[in-house]
């Protein structure tokens, strides 16, 4: 079966931008009011970062497929993605507040960490998944730099409390891997998945 569009189950403007870059037609499939999306992202026990991001993305896809069916929408593949920052086995999700963002940035300062983005794509009949892993090296940051960056509000809602495409670029000494994956949707890997389920673009 061939598809001319997909559903994107993400509120991230960066993921929309990256799909548009590929020329993929999409419709947003956002959660219903009152739908519990936060609990999906809770870490279970001493879960390794790669297992965590795979599980969360698969759960997001399951929820989105149910949402599409509940709303009686036309059949088309659904794309979900989740990005997490990890240093060793420590998972850095979205900061709870400014103090939490400052803590994360201080811990990542002067170190190389991993950014893992899982992409799950599928219909009720076929589901595929890929994980992109990149390495990001931060320069050593002082307290003033960290406080000033957090004060911009940019770290809020971002895994690891930073946005690679934003002001945090000034802190990043080196990247190895997928820049778009660090942004939240690895373009090459996503294109492969889309073609594998029959999406035309």
Give the dihedral of Cα atoms 195, 25, 81, 127; nearest 10 deg.
-40
- Cβ–Cβ under 8 Å, residues 63 and 40: yes
Rounded to 5°, angle at Cα 101 from 155 and 145: 80
Q: Is there a catalytic annotation at residue 100?
A: no
d(CA 10, CA 64): 10
Q: Find, among 32, 122, 38, the residue nearest to 71 by Cα.
A: 32
Residue matched to tokens 């990890």: 86
- Spell out a b/e string for 76-103, using b for 16 or more CB atoms within 10 Å of the CB, else e: bbbbbbbbbbbbeeebbbbbeeeebbbb
Which helix (H) or strand (E) is 173 found in, with range?
strand 172-176
Catalytic residue among 62, 82, 97, 189: 82
- Cβ–Cβ under 8 Å, residues 24 and 201: yes
Instruction: Cite the active site residues.
Output: 82
């Amino acid at each position: 079966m061939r598809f001319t569009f997909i559903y994107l189950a993400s509120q991230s403007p960066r993921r929309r931008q990256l799909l548009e870059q590929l020329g993929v037609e999409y419709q947003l499939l956002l959660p219903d009011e009152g739908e519990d999306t936060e609990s999906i992202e809770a870490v279970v026990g001493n879960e390794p970062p790669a297992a965590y991001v795979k599980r969360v993305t698969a759960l997001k896809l399951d929820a989105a497929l149910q949402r599409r069916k509940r709303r009686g929408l036309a059949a088309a593949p659904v794309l979900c993605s989740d990005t997490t920052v990890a240093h060793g086995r420590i998972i850095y999700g979205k900061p709870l507040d400014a103090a939490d963002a400052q803590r994360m940035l201080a811990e990542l300062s002067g170190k190389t960490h991993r950014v893992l983005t899982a992409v799950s794509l599928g219909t009720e009949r076929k589901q595929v998944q890929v994980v992109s892993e990149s390495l990001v090296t931060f320069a050593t940051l002082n307290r003033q730099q960290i406080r000033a960056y957090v004060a911009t509000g940019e770290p809020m809602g971002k895994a690891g409390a930073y946005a690679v495409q934003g002001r945090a670029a000034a802190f990043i000494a080196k990247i190895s891997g997928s820049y778009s994956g660090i942004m939240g949707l690895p373009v090459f890997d996503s294109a492969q998945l889309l073609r594998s389920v029959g999406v035309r673009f």
